[in-house]
């Protein structure tokens, strides 16, 4: 079985959990005998060319640092679409040209094909334009490659998946890692919502990362429940060098928030809980690792509460420094307002760090050995943090059983469930 998969980011160039999940799922699918053509808007040129098979001029190699899976990467193609995008005025004109090319084997529009469009591959002001152009080039990729099923990750790639389905006639699976209601609450961006809903309607089947997300898809987007299947995420076994607790270089206990500093992640509740903990114990340092549109507001609030001496802002951390941060942490907190899944608690538990997570997260559906609180209950959050910091037996119990629990959450198992969804779509 071969899958044409559309994503917006892929390691090592990631901004959050989406790229990490795509990476883990892809490797799991390879173990299931599924070949993957993974398409991204932009490759950065620093990928390791020795570890991949170069199929065409439009394909670029991916940076593979995990030698544990090196033998499998000969079956995955990593395509940069930014090298051959044609800037047509409308999708309809583009489809006409693609259909002419397919029927005749040649094109009357060679001069047009000599033009290029450069993707940024980021989440900037021209995001909507890039999403639509990405959908246009998806048609060419679908025409030039053979595959059995299309898999599109998150709303940015749903138009690309729809375009590939229109050209190829192959079934489309969309993977919902988050919805606009998770990102924005009730103040949704209508354009994004419309793209999400269209993707859900056009998809043959839908994969949701949690039951929480599945319910949102059904209730907020009006989708048939029979179309929506839940496949929980997993966590990658790390092959990077281990870091020791002694490397933290400070005597105080450390409590960490790691993620985008946005409404969805609940950073303001973390700050308020930190203030309450510090009223009882001054020997604690709180770290907010990440960036986002609420960062300046959080810095101002920390200053207003006069806890700056015990509060640190690191900005965005790459994978290696995330591991370093976990090695220094005594407690990890994920106070998300609405979290479709949430891989970061699994990464923390893998690093022997006990976690506090919101009940409004998909990962709470699969974790037993995590303290669960409502995101808005800062008193309960502060109590949970304080308890893990001061009661060694409690902390050791969560560390021991949590590590074992996470070690059993394999991407191979998740990939097996995704493959079952592929087979169902193909058979329908």
Report the relative pairing of strands 311-315 and 172-176 from DSSP bridges: unpaired
Residue that wins the pLDDT comparison between 111 and 161: 161
Please give the average per-residue pLDDT across 331-356, as a whole number. 94
Please give the average per-residue pLDDT across 341-352, as a whole number. 91
Residue that wins the pLDDT comparison between 9 and 122: 9
pTM to 2 decimals? 0.79
What's residue 134's pLDDT?
A: 79
Q: Quote the CA–CA distance of 67 and 109 in Å, as a whole number.
A: 44
Kindly report the backbone phi and psi dihedral angles of residue 314, in degrees, each rounded to the nearest multiple of 5, phi listed first. Answer: -100, -20
What's residue 256's pLDDT?
A: 98
What's residue 241's pLDDT?
A: 59
What's residue 49's pLDDT?
A: 27
Residue that wins the pLDDT comparison between 41 and 65: 41
The pLDDT > 70 percentage for the chain reads: 76
Highest mean pLDDT among 92-101, 124-133, 140-149: 140-149
- pLDDT tens per residue across span 349-397: 999 999 999 999 999 999 999 999 999 999 999 999 999 999 999 999 9
Is there a contact between 153 and 199 (Cβ–Cβ < 8 Å)?
A: no
Report the relative pairing of strands 331-334 and 205-208 from DSSP bridges: unpaired
Residue that wins the pLDDT comparison between 298 and 112: 298
Short-list 178, 161, 72, CA closest to 412:
72
Residue that wins the pLDDT comparison between 55 and 378: 378
Answer yes or no: is pLDDT of 341 > 60. yes
Lowest mean pLDDT among 57-61, 240-244, 397-401: 57-61
What's residue 13's pLDDT?
A: 63
Neighbouring C-beta atoms of residue 109, cutoff 10 Å: 15
What's residue 373's pLDDT?
A: 97
Residue that wins the pLDDT comparison between 71 and 392: 392
Please give the average per-residue pLDDT across 67-72, as a whole number. 38
Answer yes or no: is pLDDT of 57 > 60. no
CA 118 to chain centre: 23
Answer yes or no: is pLDDT of 124 > 70. no
- With bands split at pLDDT 50, 70 and 90, how would you rate the model's confidence at 78? low
* HSE toward the beta carbon, residue 43, CA cutoff 13 A: 21
Complete domains list, the chain, with CATH: 2-234+411-427 (3.40.50.2000), 245-407 (3.40.50.2000)
What's residue 319's pLDDT?
A: 79
Answer yes or no: is pLDDT of 80 > 60. no
- pLDDT tens per residue across span 3-25: 999 988 776 666 767 888 888 89
Answer yes or no: is pLDDT of 48 > 50. no
Is there a contact between 365 and 232 (Cβ–Cβ < 8 Å)?
A: yes
- With bands split at pLDDT 50, 70 and 90, how would you rate the model's confidence at 287? very high
Structure tokens at 330: 């005594």
Please give the average per-residue pLDDT across 247-267, as a whole number. 89
Residue that wins the pLDDT comparison between 422 and 12: 422
- pLDDT tens per residue across span 200-242: 999 999 999 999 999 999 999 999 999 999 999 998 776 555 6
């Amino acid at each position: 079985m071969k899958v044409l998969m559309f994503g917006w980011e892929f390691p090592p160039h990631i901004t959050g959990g989406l790229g990490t999940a795509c990476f883990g799922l892809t490797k799991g699918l390879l173990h299931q005998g599924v070949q993957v053509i993974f398409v991204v808007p932009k490759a950065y040129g620093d990928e390791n060319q020795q570890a991949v098979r170069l199929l065409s001029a439009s394909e670029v190699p991916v940076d593979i640092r995990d030698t544990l899976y090196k033998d499998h990467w000969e079956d995955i193609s990593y395509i940069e679409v930014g090298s051959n995008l044609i800037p047509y005025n409308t999708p309809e004109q583009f489809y006409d040209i693609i259909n002419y090319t397919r029927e005749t084997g040649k094109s009357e529009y060679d001069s047009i094909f000599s033009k290029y469009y450069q993707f940024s591959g980021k989440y900037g002001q021209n995001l909507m334009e890039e999403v639509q152009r990405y959908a246009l080039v998806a048609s060419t990729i679908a025409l030039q490659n053979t595959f059995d099923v299309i898999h599109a990750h998150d709303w940015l790639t749903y138009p690309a998946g729809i375009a590939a389905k229109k050209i190829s006639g192959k079934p489309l699976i969309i993977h919902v890692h988050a919805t606009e209601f998770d990102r924005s609450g009730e103040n949704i961006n209508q354009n994004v919502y419309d793209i999400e809903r269209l993707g859900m309607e056009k998809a043959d089947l839908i994969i949701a990362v949690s039951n929480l997300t599945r319910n949102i898809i059904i209730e907020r987007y009006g989708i048939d429940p029979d179309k929506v299947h839940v496949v929980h995420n997993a966590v990658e076994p790390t092959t990077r060098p281990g870091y020791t607790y002694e490397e933290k270089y400070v005597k105080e206990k450390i409590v960490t928030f790691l993620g985008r500093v946005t409404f969805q992640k609940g950073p303001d509740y973390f700050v308020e809980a930190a203030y309450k903990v510090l009223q009882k114990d001054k020997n604690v340092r709180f770290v907010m690792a990440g960036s986002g549109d609420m960062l300046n507001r959080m810095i101002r609030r920390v200053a207003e509460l006069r806890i700056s001496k015990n509060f640190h802002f690191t900005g965005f951390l790459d994978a290696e420094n995330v591991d370093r941060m976990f090695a220094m942490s005594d407690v990890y907190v994920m106070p998300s307002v609405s979290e479709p899944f949430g891989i970061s608690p699994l990464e923390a538990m893998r690093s022997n760090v006990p976690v506090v997570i919101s009940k409004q997260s998909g990962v709470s559906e699969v974790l037993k050995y995590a303290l669960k609180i409502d995101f808005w209950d800062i008193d309960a959050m502060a109590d949970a943090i304080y308890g893990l910091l001061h009661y060694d037996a409690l902390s050791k119990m969560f560390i021991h059983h949590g590590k074992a629990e996470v070690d059993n959450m394999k991407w191979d198992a998740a990939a097996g469930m995704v493959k079952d969804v592929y087979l169902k779509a193909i058979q329908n």
